[in-house]
Structure 1
Amino acid sequence: MNRIFTKDAIIDIGFYGGLAIKAINAVMEVLGGVMLMLITPDGLSQIIRQIALPELREDPTDPVMNYLLGLCQNFSSSTQASIAVYMLLHGATKLAIIWFLWKKILWTYPLAMGIFAVFIGYEIYGYMHSQSLLVLLIITLDAAILTLIILEYIRLKKIR
Structure 2
Amino acid sequence: MRERVLDLVFLLGVLFKGIDGLVELVGGVLLLFATPATLLSAANRVTAEELSEDPHDLIANLIVHGAARLHAGGVLFVAAYLLLHGVVKLAIVVALLVGSRRVYPWAMAALGVFLIFQLYELVTKPSVGVAVLTVFDAVIIWLTWREWRRGRELRTTWRGTVQWVLRRQPPPDPAR
- Assess same fold via TM > 0.5: yes
For the residue of structure 2 that corresponds to 1:135, the secondary structure is: helix
Q: Does 2:100 align with 1:88?
A: no
Aligned equivalents of 1:86 and 1:118: distance in 2?
13
Q: How many residues align?
A: 152
Q: Select 2:92's aligned residue among 91, 97, 102.
A: 97
Asked if structure 2 preserves the Cα contact closer than 8 Å seen for 1:23 and 1:95, the reply is yes
Return the TM-score normalized by structure 2: 0.79
Residue aligning to 1:141 = 136
Residue aligning to 1:39 = 34
* Offset of residue 116 of structure 1: 1.0
- Structure 1 residues 11 and 156 mapped into 2: Cα distance closer, same or farther (>3 Å)? farther
Segments of structure 1 that go 5 or more residues without pairing to the other structure are: none
Aligned equivalents of 2:95 and 2:142: distance in 1?
17
Residue aligning to 1:112 = 107
Q: Does 2:9 align with 1:17?
A: no
Asked if structure 2 preserves the Cα contact closer than 8 Å seen for 1:11 and 1:151, the reply is no
Return the TM-score normalized by structure 1: 0.86
* Alpha-carbon RMSD: 1.7
* Cα offsets for 1:34-63 (capped at 9, x unmatched): 111122221111111112233222222122
Q: Select 1:79's aligned residue among 74, 98, 103.
A: 74
Aligned equivalents of 1:10 and 1:71: distance in 2?
38
* Cα offsets for 1:11-40 (capped at 9, x unmatched): 432222110011111111001111111222
Asked if structure 2 preserves the Cα contact closer than 8 Å seen for 1:16 and 1:102, the reply is no
Residue aligning to 1:124 = 119
Asked if structure 2 preserves the Cα contact closer than 8 Å seen for 1:11 and 1:152, the reply is no
For the residue of structure 1 that corresponds to 2:151, the secondary structure is: helix
For the residue of structure 2 that corresponds to 1:51, the secondary structure is: helix
Aligned equivalents of 1:15 and 1:96: distance in 2?
17
- Structure 1 residues 104 and 11 mapped into 2: Cα distance closer, same or farther (>3 Å)? farther
Segments ≥4 residues shifted beyond 4 Å: none
Q: Select 1:50's aligned residue among 45, 48, 68.
A: 45
Asked if structure 2 preserves the Cα contact closer than 8 Å seen for 1:41 and 1:75, the reply is yes
Aligned equivalents of 1:81 and 1:125: distance in 2?
21
Identity of aligned residues (%): 30
Aligned equivalents of 1:132 and 1:76: distance in 2?
22
Residue aligning to 1:68 = 63
